[in-house]
Amino acid sequence: MEHFSFAMDGAALSVVWTLMHDDKDMSKYAGEELELAVKEVQGNHMEKWEAINMLKYVLSSIHYPWIIKSHSLNLMLILSGEDHVEEINNHVDFTCFAHRIFETLKAIESVMIAAPMALVRKKAFAALKKVISMVPSSQRFDILHGLVNNSTSPALTAILLDLVRQEVSRESRQADNDCIEDEGFRGNGLPRWASHALELVELILRPPEGGPPCLPDHSEQVISALNLLRFILIIDSRGQRSAKLFRKETLHKVHSEWLTPLRPIAEQIQLENEKDADEITKQIVCMLNLVQLVLYRCIELVEEKMKGC
For residue 272, the model assigns a pLDDT of 84
In a domain, 191, yes or no: no
- Has residue 1 got a pLDDT over 50? no
Q: Is the pLDDT of residue 5 over 60?
A: no
Per-residue pLDDT band at 189 (split at 50, 70, 90): low
Range of the domain at 78: 1-135
Residue 273 lies in a domain: no
b/e string for 164-177 if b means 16 or more Cβ within 10 A? bbebbeebbeebee
Let me know: does 97 contact 45? Beta carbons within 8 Å.
Answer: no
Report the percent of the chain where pLDDT is more than 90: 49
Residue 81 lies in a domain: yes
Amino acid at 269: I
Residue 285, in any domain of the structure: no
Domain count, the chain: 1
Give 33's pLDDT tier (boundaries 50, 70, 90): low
pLDDT of residue 93: 64
Contacts of 265 (CB under 8 A, 6+ apart): 212, 215
129-155 average pLDDT score:
93
pLDDT one-digit tens code per residue, 238-293? 755 555 678 889 999 999 999 999 999 998 988 888 777 688 888 888 999 999 99
The torsion of the CA quartet 218, 223, 228, 230, rounded to 10 degrees, works out to: 140
What pLDDT, on a 0 to 100 scale, did the predictor assign at position 104? 96
Residue 97 falls inside a structural domain: yes
Would you say residue 50 lies in a domain?
yes
Residue 216 lies in a domain: no
d(CA 148, CA 158): 9
pLDDT in the model for residue 29: 47
Q: Rounded CA gap, 58 and 61, in Å?
A: 5
Contact 50, 8 (CB under 8 A): no
What does DSSP assign to residue 189?
Answer: S
Give the pLDDT confidence of 41-75 residue by residue, as tens digits.
778 888 889 889 999 999 999 989 999 999 999 99
Rounded Cα–Cα distance for residues 57 and 62 (Å) = 10
Q: How many CA atoms lie within 13 A of 80 on its CB side?
A: 25
